[in-house]
Amino acid sequence: MCFYYGYNEYLMEKLLQLFTVNEAVEFFEANEIARPVTIRTNTLKTRRRDLAQALINRGVNLDPIGKWTKVGLTIFDSPVPVGATPEYMAGHYMIQAASSFLPVMALAPQENERVLDMSAAPGGKTTYCAALMKNTGLVVANDANREREKALVANIHRLGISNAVVCNYDGREFPKVMGGFDRVLLDAPCSGTGVISKDASVKTNKGPEDFSMLTNLQKELLLSAIDSVNADSPTGGYIVYSTCSVTVEEDEAVVNYALSKRPNIKLVDAKLDFGRPGFTSFRGRAFHSSLSLTRRFYPHTHNMDGFFVAKFKKLSNKVQVEENQFIVPAGSGVKLKQKKKRRN
């Protein structure tokens, strides 16, 4: 199978652990086929029906993505480049993978909230958040890669987003530089095993050291995301963790780690009506039973990029580290009362 599909032995073995042999073949076959081009309607500027009609008038063959989204369209073919139409230039839509709608839908940002998109470039999720918030409140669009931020800024301007602030921090520093958010979205850097149809190099360029580095980074970023949320938010207190990877060590194992390190959080229903439940055990390793609330998406079953989504609710701004001892993470939005010094 390695030779036939072009994977290295390490990754092939890892992926075969996820499926039966027959389903594994379906997964590998799906990775050989490009996913459909999908766009997201920018509801700040237009409605989906009006956008669809305008594109149809230009000869574009399209359909709604599915019942699960009210803003997505699938483009089957187009006589003009989808990224060069007058509607695109005017910011009426974003070319965006259907799978990347999911974490924003799970986050469900509300009007007038303070939201952090911790790894925001190129801006599909940030601009979707802003649209759901109707350009109210604040979206902090952060990305550690300054080069990628160019596309982020361009998309924010093109789509008419006025409630976003762009910054360039290592996400792991965020509780220190800014905190007290109502909601945080972390679409974490990952191996890309869910997007092999877009990047075939993943088949051969990922080894044990890559997964070790990535999982350590993902764990650190997720703890930072959790610590950046204010549990006392009257409307929020939520964190969404997502990856475009299908490996358990980048998905359920990272979430399970966060649950063990932050007892002040719990997993909640992401309110995504499709997808498979996450693993509660894997190859003899047991995870927290609430991992069944997470969701997995596969190219061979959902015709979208492989994806993973988990949603947390933060219950308290205090983290119990030892019995009767608590810490309050910096930037959590909690002000500590200082003891007054006695005068001699």
End-to-end alpha-carbon separation of the chain, Å? 80
Closest among 280, 273, 313 to 297, alpha carbons compared: 273
Could you report the per-residue pLDDT of 287-301, keeping only the tens digit for each? 999 999 999 999 999
Which pLDDT does position 175 carry in this prediction?
Answer: 85
Which pLDDT does position 3 carry in this prediction?
Answer: 81
User: DSSP state, 33?
Assistant: S
| Band of pLDDT at residue 135, cut at 50, 70 and 90 | very high
The count of other CB atoms within 10 Å of the CB of residue 238 is 26
Lowest-confidence region among 1-15, 32-46, 250-264: 1-15
| Band of pLDDT at residue 331, cut at 50, 70 and 90 | low
| Band of pLDDT at residue 337, cut at 50, 70 and 90 | very low
| Band of pLDDT at residue 330, cut at 50, 70 and 90 | low
Average pLDDT of every residue of the chain: 93
Closest among 206, 195, 192 to 12, alpha carbons compared: 206
Could you report the per-residue pLDDT of 175-195, keeping only the tens digit for each? 899 999 999 999 999 999 999
| Band of pLDDT at residue 332, cut at 50, 70 and 90 | low
CA 217 to chain centre: 15
Closest among 148, 119, 128 to 221, alpha carbons compared: 119
Those residues with Cβ within 8 angstroms of residue 271's Cβ, 6 or more apart along the chain or in another chain: 105, 106, 108
Yes or no: say if 149 and 181 are a contact pair by the CB < 8 Å rule: no
Active site residue: 129, 167, 190, 244, which one? Answer: 244
Predicted model pTM? 0.92
**Homologous superfamily of 98-322:** Vaccinia Virus protein VP39 (3.40.50.150)
Distance (Å, whole) CA 293 – CA 277: 6
Mean pLDDT of the region 117-134: 97
| Band of pLDDT at residue 318, cut at 50, 70 and 90 | confident
Residue 167 is among the residues annotated as catalytic for this protein = no
| Band of pLDDT at residue 336, cut at 50, 70 and 90 | very low
Beta strands in 42-122 (DSSP E): 61-64, 72-77, 93-95, 114-117
Lowest-confidence region among 15-24, 217-226, 284-293, 319-328: 319-328
Which pLDDT does position 182 carry in this prediction?
Answer: 98
Check pLDDT > 60 for residue 343: no
